Structure 1
């Protein structure tokens, strides 16, 4: 299993990186030219299996490498890698057959003689690499590779200036510790793409898809700390899975799903705060990146679903100037969100958070009694948390349909926290009880959610109406439409609230 942390560096900062104090303690190998030719079929069957196949020329040696799809989180690529010497400059798929099971898509592909006959070079990377071996601390061995070169295909070329930290021996958090130390000397950014990703990006126009959260799987015997780690890893997986889509700016849904991941993460930290407190300043940083994403999402919702519903009464032409103005604001804020995710500040945040989680740094400041407490059963902790959050929602939701915007917003946040807690601990409760409870909670959240969208939209419409008289006219109509729809929903909100408050949290 290969573990690499990939970082971007600006060309003008390369010399500063070479002078970084951390690298002064390492053992540097002579620079060498690595030419890697990537092979695939005309229809990119290897890429279709979410793999890459290359033959690397390193002096007189020829090394064949097959890399399978893995998990990329906080810049760390964890994936299966199969490497072996070959004769000549073309791959030999028969050498991989003992390593790749026949029952997998990739296993069937490498055993297909027709596929082997179609393999041809699709792009080439030419990289000048300077490798430095570090021991930080002595039991952890990391290779820091400074790569400068190009990725070349018939369709174009892309320059590469990158830093790769590969764990040769030791614990994964050593990668984040080393990266944070390098950040003290030079600006670095998380790199969301491998060289193979860059090469295939020159061949095909692929957009990252928005990724929703996966279910959290907890064991009946898990401790509170086990549950905390599993839940935070799950939240971070959703956050990291959408970073690339946010940076590319192609799909607004990626912004939404990354924002959801951050909300889930903050909710999880709050849920466990009394037993596993986070370090001072973490919530402030999470609030910052969530806010950078939030503005883009608010404008997208207004420009899309909100105005689309408002235009169903035959006022589409009147609303078109408003839609165009809102879409323009959405695009601008999407660029702002992308810049935030591609910032040194965000890089530092995710490196620090990942290291804190992987090394369980919260234990350092705990007493023996506190450590013993988090070794207690997650099941009882979950039941207590769900009861507490449910009761808080019931209190916040009294006479829900008649609350003002501020108090209804507080009830909506309480409902969201109940929903996240229920989903985090769902595997510890009866499946049927969870399904019934979440169904009623979802109906409540949906109603509260679109009402909140209406409140946000009213504020944004007031802002955008200053652009022109045409926009002001359309914005006024949209605001009136939303106000009338909120008023008409009074009884519906009463019904969903009555249905929910009869329930008890799942067990």
Structure 2
């Protein structure tokens, strides 16, 4: 099992990392950089890549090492995956050496055990990396190898430079990787690396498309403590955030921006949910609000350019709407780049490393009172039931005469509904499925209506801004604003009925 934290760096800043105080004591004993030449192999149809694996033969002097890496989890930059490494006596892979290690009934195992695959293997790209390493032994006893890499990835289709810092856990707990990374971040502008060297190589061969990743169901047991439940929920939210980071940075799919933003909203809701018993460290909410805001600007313009304007492109006004759509689409693209820059920033790197370290070490334990400590050791079932009752009552209070509320108060009711939804989904595994589904179905219908109404309110503000900066959109923007306002007015009866239906529901018990 390989556990490795990968960090990007500009090659000009590698010297700053080498001078970092953390590396100084061990740097004197470090050998000169080695040239690592790794040739990656695959079939003509890239079958190895298709099963989310990579196969290479690395040359270091006269030595040859064959390595197969399988797909695994990537959380906050840490690659946690199975790795099979063994010496070979030539410059091409020997798949027979992997037969005992890889079960034949797995996707990758079928390839490894297929003699025709071995016959079709050929080099697909090569990495040439100058690597210097420093072995760190921390006061905790944990041992980490810090590798400073600079080189290139080359394929027939082109080449790309690489500079990175890789921290590999040799012994100890994974959280020590975050501790070291945060200390190195004080010496050089590091960013989280979302790709392995194999990923970079395959991107030279094929167009990589990162799909948006939705949240997975939260699974907990009735005997879990409040603290255990919090860790489960927070890790679930972070997993959704982490899974969409690479898609946001690539900028190809705006859905990744949306899903990462959802993950951040879920995380902030979870922190608020447990705030009285598990206090977050100072400044955390401000930082999460910052990155959510960077993503939000892109998402708002994407919605306007897509779904919202599609609803308004009628009554012979298509030409005017087209001008609005093109202008708003360009703003959306610009804001998507802004979101990518934020996720690929040193500031975000620090936020994520610090948050993950706090979660993995249960850093709140240092700040809680005896009363809070007793509460988080208590059963989650009792805590969850109380939370759902409180959240439900708050929504009922904020939603009184919902259809007649102004935009500000209706927005507050929408946020309350969202928090109820998240809380119910967090604790869903503690209750009968039928009760949860019945409640969420009613809540979802209400949320859908409040959601598009909110999109209309946001769209009105964006359309006003657009008409001021792009004169060609004035006519279309005015029409779209009027059409959306008429739809909101016509929805009064529907919203009233949905609220009446929800008021009959009770949270799961």
Aligned to 1:81: 83
Structure 2 Cα separation of the partners of residues 186 and 445 of structure 1: 45
How far is 1:28 from its partner?
Answer: 2.1
Aligned to 2:477: 475
Aligned to 2:286: 284
Aligned to 2:14: 14
SS of residue in 2 equivalent to 1:65? strand
Structure 1 Cα separation of the partners of residues 472 and 479 of structure 2: 11
Structure 1 Cα separation of the partners of residues 105 and 380 of structure 2: 37
Contact conserved, 1:139 with 1:170, CA < 8 A, in 2?
A: yes
1:82-481 aligned within 5 A: 82-481=84-483
Which stretch of the first structure deviates more once superposed, 92-101 or 153-162? 92-101
Contact conserved, 1:136 with 1:178, CA < 8 A, in 2?
A: no
Contact conserved, 2:279 with 2:368, CA < 8 A, in 1?
A: no
Aligned to 1:59: 61
Structure 2 Cα separation of the partners of residues 186 and 39 of structure 1: 34
- Show CA shifts across 1:73-124 (max 9, x none): 1111111111111121111111111111222111111111111110011011
Contact conserved, 1:36 with 1:125, CA < 8 A, in 2?
A: yes
Structure 1 Cα separation of the partners of residues 344 and 20 of structure 2: 22
How far is 1:469 from its partner?
Answer: 3.7
Contact conserved, 2:136 with 2:143, CA < 8 A, in 1?
A: yes
Contact conserved, 2:191 with 2:349, CA < 8 A, in 1?
A: yes
Q: Which runs of 5+ in 2 are unaligned?
A: none
1:17-28 aligned within 5 A: 17-26=17-26, 27-28=29-30
Structure 1 Cα separation of the partners of residues 483 and 228 of structure 2: 49
Contact conserved, 1:210 with 1:253, CA < 8 A, in 2?
A: yes
Which stretch of the first structure deviates more once superposed, 10-19 or 25-34? 25-34
How far is 1:138 from its partner?
Answer: 4.4
Which stretch of the first structure deviates more once superposed, 80-89 or 25-34? 25-34
Aligned to 1:492: 494
The normalised TM-score by structure 1 is: 0.99
Structure 2 Cα separation of the partners of residues 185 and 318 of structure 1: 53
Contact conserved, 1:167 with 1:175, CA < 8 A, in 2?
A: yes
Aligned to 1:44: 46
How far is 1:468 from its partner?
Answer: 4.0
Which stretch of the first structure deviates more once superposed, 21-30 or 148-157? 21-30
How far is 1:211 from its partner?
Answer: 0.6
The normalised TM-score by structure 2 is: 0.98
SS of residue in 1 equivalent to 2:440? helix
Which stretch of the first structure deviates more once superposed, 148-157 or 371-380? 371-380
Structure 2 Cα separation of the partners of residues 75 and 490 of structure 1: 47
SS of residue in 1 equivalent to 2:69? strand
How far is 1:300 from its partner?
Answer: 0.4
Counting matched residue pairs gives: 507
How far is 1:135 from its partner?
Answer: 1.1
Structure 1 Cα separation of the partners of residues 465 and 399 of structure 2: 30
How far is 1:446 from its partner?
Answer: 0.2
- Show CA shifts across 1:278-316 (max 9, x none): 001000000000000000000000011111110033321
Structure 2 Cα separation of the partners of residues 368 and 98 of structure 1: 53
Structure 2 Cα separation of the partners of residues 46 and 291 of structure 1: 39
Structure 1 Cα separation of the partners of residues 424 and 140 of structure 2: 43
Q: Which runs of 5+ in 1 are unaligned?
A: none
How far is 1:501 from its partner?
Answer: 1.0
The 1:468/1:192 distance shift into structure 2, 3 A limit, reads closer
Contact conserved, 2:327 with 2:470, CA < 8 A, in 1?
A: no
Contact conserved, 2:145 with 2:170, CA < 8 A, in 1?
A: yes
Contact conserved, 2:277 with 2:368, CA < 8 A, in 1?
A: no
Contact conserved, 2:278 with 2:368, CA < 8 A, in 1?
A: no
Structure 1 Cα separation of the partners of residues 35 and 355 of structure 2: 35
Structure 2 Cα separation of the partners of residues 207 and 295 of structure 1: 23
Structure 1 Cα separation of the partners of residues 411 and 90 of structure 2: 66
Structure 2 Cα separation of the partners of residues 468 and 191 of structure 1: 38
How far is 1:379 from its partner?
Answer: 1.0
How far is 1:175 from its partner?
Answer: 0.5
Structure 2 Cα separation of the partners of residues 29 and 395 of structure 1: 68
Structure 1 Cα separation of the partners of residues 154 and 470 of structure 2: 48
